[in-house]
Amino acid sequence: MNIVGLESIVLQSEVKRPVSDALHTFDAGTTVVTKVHTDEGIVGCATTHFGRAKAGAAILKTILDKEIAPLLIGEDPHFSRKVREKLWFATEYYGVTGITQFAVAAVDICLWDIVGKASGKPVCHLLGGARDRIPAYAMVGWYYERERDYLEHCVAAVEEGFKAIKLKVGKHSLEDDIRRIESVRNEVGPDVTLMVDANQIFDETEALRRGRAYQELGIYWYEEPLAPYRTEGYVRLSQKLDIPIALGENYYTRHQFYDAIRMNAGAIYQPDNRRTGGVTEWMEIGALAEAAGRKIASHGGGAGNVNILCALPNAVFLESGSLKHQEQGMFATELQLIDGSILLPSVPGMGTEVREAYIQKHRVS
């Protein structure tokens, strides 16, 4: 089997009520769908979403079409590490982090999707499955334009079946953080796991002060209190706090994860498919974390991440939004939530196929 072409498609959906964290407002609503075609008619699919950076999708499409696509012709999709090395050296002049890695990641996910479809199995089975489901938390505790939406979304997630919720903190005072945490706790009860995410907003002193408050409130993990390059700061926080530190969504490739893991910067590492580099890098990062006795959780959800996490014995959580109304959504593969965990999809490949009707409705280029 050989690759005969790459197709990239930009989708735009309206963001009627943007949500925010301590640092960002997510109002872009653009997605790049990458399709890698083979001579056997099997097509691999990946999606790259941009919550911010409205020009990002067009830039990524240019890299995929002009730089990446010609390099893939004639390659065997089974040789993902060979392709990864080829693309790495072809794009490193632009920088070894950043949007070029988004492109490499999209291709890698497509290759694994092709291999899974060709074998008739979910990619997790090819990676060596560790489980058939993964605990999931609902990322619903955003800063909303309407304050009442905050509690309504958190309560609705528990009613839907999630047993864990992540809350955004740090946009305002510590007192406001405590109010947000306690208000959700009062609504959902003592048995729902709560995590908090500060999205890089603090300096080290403030991160320590707030971390002490969060751990007194019984928070499960304290995510990204510092900018990702403050590795030594993360090390010091991890030494001074009892609450587990989670980090990694802004790390690129196994090399940045290796440095953080080696220095004991945190307890839970959170690869993001776009920045990490795809399935191939994910599995290597998971092995590095396992060897160091550290846990893995995803930044982002979807069937692709379920396939990866179910192949990692040290994975603890999948990030997810609500699974309601999936039949109207982007993806052809619908996920199932049972007893707080999302089941591994049975469809061959990554489960990343985009509905054709959705593409036709939202396509802009």
The rounded average pLDDT for each run of 10 residues, N- to C-terminus, in the chain (365 residues) is 98 95 96 98 98 94 97 98 96 92 97 98 98 98 94 98 98 98 97 98 98 98 98 98 98 97 98 96 98 98 98 98 92 98 98 97 95
Per residue in 32-70, pLDDT tens?
999 999 999 999 999 999 999 989 999 999 999 999 999
**Cα–Cα distance, 273 to 318 (Å, whole number):** 12
Tell me how far apart the alpha carbons of residues 143 and 301 are, in angstroms, rounded to a whole number: 20
One-letter amino acid for residue 24 of the chain:
H
Residues linked to residue 166 through DSSP beta bridges, in sequence order: 139, 195
The contacts of residue 136 (CB under 8 Å, 6+ apart) are 162, 164, 301, 317, 318, 319, 320, 337, 340, 341, 342
| Phi, psi for residue 75 in degrees, rounded to 5 | -75, 150
Identify the bridge partners of residue 47 per DSSP, sorted by sequence position: 33
pLDDT for residue 324? 94
- Residue 29 contacts residue 16 (beta carbons within 8 Å): no
pTM of the model: 0.97
- Does this chain's domain 3-120+354-362 share its CATH topology with 125-343? no
In a 13 Å sphere around the CA of 315, the CA atoms on its Cβ side amount to 30
pLDDT at 225: 98
Note the pLDDT of residue 333. 97
- The first and second tokens of residue 146, run together, are 């309407």
Max Cα distance, the chain (Å):
60
Q: Residues 266-299, buried b or exposed e (16+ Cβ, 10 A)? A: bbbbbbbbbbbbbbbbbbbbbebbbeeebbbbbb
- By three-state DSSP, how is residue 3 classified? strand
**pLDDT at residue 327, rounded to an integer:** 85
- The residue type found at 8 is S
Model confidence pLDDT, tens digit, residues 343-355: 999 999 999 999 9
Q: Give the tens place of pLDDT for each residue, 85-120.
A: 999 999 999 988 999 999 999 999 999 999 999 999
Give the residues across from 209 on adjacent strands.
none
Please tell me the distance from the alpha carbon of residue 210 to that of residue 195, in angstroms, as a whole number. Answer: 13
The CA–CA distances, whole Å, from 204 to 105, 117, 218 equal 32, 47, 21
Q: What does DSSP assign to residue 25?
A: E
Cα angle 154, 300, 162; round to 5: 35
DSSP track, 45-69? EEEEEESS-TTHHHHHHHIIIIIIH
Q: Which CATH code for domain 3-120+354-362?
A: 3.30.390.10
- pLDDT for position 328: 85
Tell me yes or no: is domain 125-343 CATH 3.90.1150.10.
no
Cα end-to-end distance, the chain, whole Å: 29
Burial of 336 (0-12, 13-18, 19+ CB in 10 A): middle
List the beta bridge partners of residue 82: none
CA dist., res. 215 & res. 330, Å (int): 37
Domain spans, the chain: 3-120+354-362, 125-343
Residue whose entry in the numeric block shows the structure tokens 């632009």? 94
Q: Which two tokens stand for residue 230?
A: 């403050």
Q: For residues 160 and 324, is the Cβ–Cβ distance under 8 A?
A: yes
Ranges of H-type helices in 93-173: 99-119, 123-127, 147-160
Decide: 349 and 117 in contact? Cβ < 8 Å: yes
What is the per-residue pLDDT for 147?
87
* Residue 200 burial by Cβ neighbours in a 10 Å radius (0-12, 13-18, 19+): buried
